[in-house]
Amino acid sequence: MADQTQPHTTSLLEPNEYSEFMLRAPKEILVVLRGLLEHVSQITVYFNEGKDMLLTTLAAVADDHIVLDYGPSSEMNRKALEAEKHFCITTLDKVRVQFILRGFARIEHGGRASFRAALPDEILRLQRREFFRLATPIAKPLKCMVPIPLADGGLHLHEAHIFDISGGGLALSAPPAGIPFDTEMELPNCRVELPEVGIITGTIKIRSIFEITLRSGAKVRRAGCEFVKLPGPMLTLIQRYIIKVERERKARETGMS
């Protein structure tokens, strides 16, 4: 069963913008799916227009269907079975993978409840380096200052914790209840300080909002956002930050070994 304590949070990409990275040949689709199975890649599944999500892994890949593990929440599993469309996001060898499944059926696999779904019609495999999504270091957390316009004409300055970041967008903590914050909202003048690299400012667009349950049992809301026409110099800063953090991580791993 997939571990849901550390969600793979990310934002959905618009397939039409990345048609050159779309795989449609059944053989190519099966190669990717079997790679996800072999690497036990964690898959984030969004449904009900992004209001619900669960984490899972592939349990089996056949020529005409796949099998996914159930999540730990019986309520979320029930909702997933009732949903007609499932947006799946994961990574394989640091390459972004996204696809849509249309309908889950409950089956028994390996002696436990599982989801069965038909193979996706296409898979988006985004290989561009700037869209490698970096989970931000816990020891050096990133914050995003998000100005949110209020109904009375004022601004609420939301200091959001960033959970991951890429050249395409970021995942962050949602503001408290009562603050206007919904999918498709565009929020300009957002500011992120990248330690020892620089400061980026720009517009973000909210692509998905979902609720997760922490180990403590507390429920929190998170949002997947994309950058809107991020200037080239800002993108370069993000790339430098990602490379810097990855180098530091590899240096620590080498030291420990």
Residue 7 lies in a domain: no
Distance of CA 175 to the CA centre of its chain: 19
- Whether residue 5 lies inside any domain: the answer is no
Range of the domain at 212: 134-256
Indicate if 122 and 139 belong to the same structural domain: no
Residue 91 lies in a domain: yes
Q: Locate all alpha helices (DSSP H) within the chain, ordered by sequence.
A: 26-38, 74-82, 232-256
pLDDT at 120: 96
Which of 127, 159, 183 is the C-terminal boundary of a domain? 127
- Give me 226's structure tokens: 């994309």
Give domain status of residue 51, yes or no: yes
Q: Say if residue 3's pLDDT is above 50.
A: no
Mean pLDDT of the chain: 86
Q: Are residues 110 and 143 located together in one domain of the fold?
A: no
Q: Are residues 110 and 164 in the same domain?
A: no
Looking at the chain, the whole-number percentage of residues with pLDDT higher than 70 is: 89
146 shares a domain with 225: yes
3-state secondary structure of 220: strand
Strands laid side by side in the 112-118 sheet: 58-61, 65-69, 112-118, 105-109
Instruction: List, in order, residues 6 or more apart from 124 with CB less than 8 Å away.
Output: 13, 15, 18, 21, 22, 23, 96, 97, 98, 99
Q: What is the rounded average pLDDT of the residues 211-223?
A: 82
Q: Is the dihedral of CA 246, 247, 252, 254 positive or negative?
A: positive
- Give the tens place of pLDDT for each residue, 7-44: 333 455 555 556 667 888 999 999 999 999 999 999 99
Give pLDDT, residue 82: 96
Q: Give the tens place of pLDDT for each residue, 187-200.
A: 999 999 999 999 99
What pLDDT digit, counting tens, does each position of 52-64 carry? 999 999 999 999 9
- pLDDT score for 235: 85
For residues 174 and 116, state if they share a domain. no
Please report, for the domain that includes residue 117, its CATH number.
2.30.110.10
Structural contact between residues 174 and 221, judged by C-beta atoms closer than 8 angstroms: yes
- Give the per-residue pLDDT at 9: 39
**CATH number assigned to the domain comprising residue 151:** 2.40.10.220
Same structural domain for residues 63 and 172? no
* 204 occurs within a structural domain: yes
DSSP 195: T
What CA–CA distance (Å, rounded) separates 49 from 182? 12
Q: What is the largest CA-CA distance in the chain?
A: 57
- How far is residue 190 from each of residues 147, 211, 232, measured CA to CA in Å? 7, 22, 16
Q: Is residue 236 in some structural domain?
A: yes
- What pLDDT is stored for residue 46 in this prediction? 92
pLDDT of residue 255: 75
The mean pLDDT value for 136-143 works out to 85
**Tokens at 70, concatenated:** 């159930």
Question: What confidence category does residue 5 fall into, taking pLDDT thresholds of 50, 70 and 90?
Answer: very low
Q: How many domains does the chain have?
A: 2
Whether 248 shows a pLDDT value over 80: the answer reads yes
Q: Which residues pair with 77 in a beta bridge?
A: none
Q: Is residue 10 part of a domain?
A: no
> Does residue 105 carry a pLDDT above 70?
yes
Instruction: Classify residue 20: in a domain, yes or no.
Output: yes
What local confidence, expressed as pLDDT, does residue 167 receive?
85
- Phi, psi (rounded to 5 degrees) for 248: -65, -40
Instruction: Please classify residue 103 by burial: count the beta carbons closer than 10 Å to its beta carbon, then call 0-12 exposed, 13-18 middle and 19+ buried.
Output: middle
